[in-house]
Amino acid sequence: MNVPSVTLNDGNTIPQLGFGVWQVSTDDITRAVSTALEVGYRHIDTAAIYGNEEGVGKAIFESALKRDDLFVTTKLWNTRHQDARPALEESLTKLGLEQVDLYLIHWPVPTQGHYQQAWESLIELKEAGLTRSIGVSNFLAPHLDQIIDATGVKPTVNQIEIHPSFQQADLVAHTRGHGVEVESYSPLGLGDFDLDAPKKWATELGRTPAQIVLRWHLQHGYIVFPKSVTPERIAENFALFDFELPAEAMADLDACEAGKRCGGDPATFVAPNR
């Protein structure tokens, strides 16, 4: 199955569908990523704070896939905004890679006041060849505006929480207004399928609710990377390219907006000591 590519504003491309590994334990990580690579995923989304970069690296090494055929994202944790180069070097050592494809500032932590400095460091890390592309995560409109105004360099992506019950339409529009791609995290609302629309369209189209929700993300143009440690679900979440949602289904899922966030609010989220 061919996963579409998205061209980023720096000219690099990213597979629109990937595999997320937040909350995948060190016991499960290598098996889960190996399963994903066997199924056909070529884009892995991890982070230093997930504590599983070594296991991701082991699965990549054991897969014997060519480096160029893989897209690996990791993220700078909140305590390292003033210390980005060693932080990325530590991630690269754990991953067993010389370069990641995408390095993100995980959270802006505006109360700390160092995200612009972190962004300036990421620009240097790209120039130094330690990452092919750079971006941000959990950035609200003022945070995006500040780093772009200060440096003239736009992030390639803003990775933000999006699922049918929490769609962030204004932030999506603001992000795209800068020519920045939107990556939707917790795309399945952390596995909460207590919504009628995905269930109804799953029955109608002979798919699963998860597949309906993931198609909704893809058809909105989001870059998406569902997480699962369950082999059947890893395969199910990849089987998305032989059907489409009709406009009526898209409208039904759009109508699920409920302002229901699963994760932290970037305006206040800190968690610096984890």
Report which residue's Cβ sits closest to ligand NAP.
Answer: 20
Catalytic residue among 41, 50, 103, 222: 50
Of 201, 227, 238, 253, the one binding ligand NAP by CB under 6 A: 227
| Alpha carbons 17 and 22: distance in angstroms, whole number | 16
Q: How far apart are CA 117 and CA 222, in angstroms?
A: 28
Tell me how far, at minimum, the Cβ of 22 lies from ligand NAP, in Å.
3
Report in angstroms how near the CB of residue 185 gets to ligand NAP at its nearest: 4
Is residue 81 at the binding interface for ligand NAP, with CB under 6 A as the rule?
no
Asked if 237 interacts with ligand NAP (CB under 6 A), we say yes
Rule CB under 6 A: say whether 20 interacts with ligand NAP: yes
Question: Would you tell me how many other CB atoms lie within 10 Å of the CB of residue 261?
Answer: 14
Of 236, 238, 252, 253, the residue at the interface with ligand NAP (CB under 6 A) is 236
Residue 80 near residue 108, CB atoms below 8 Å: no
Annotated ligand binding at 178? The verdict is no
Q: Is 78 in the site for ligand NAP (CB under 6 A)?
A: no
263 binds ligand NAP (CB under 6 A): yes
50 among known catalytic residues:
yes
Active site residues: 50
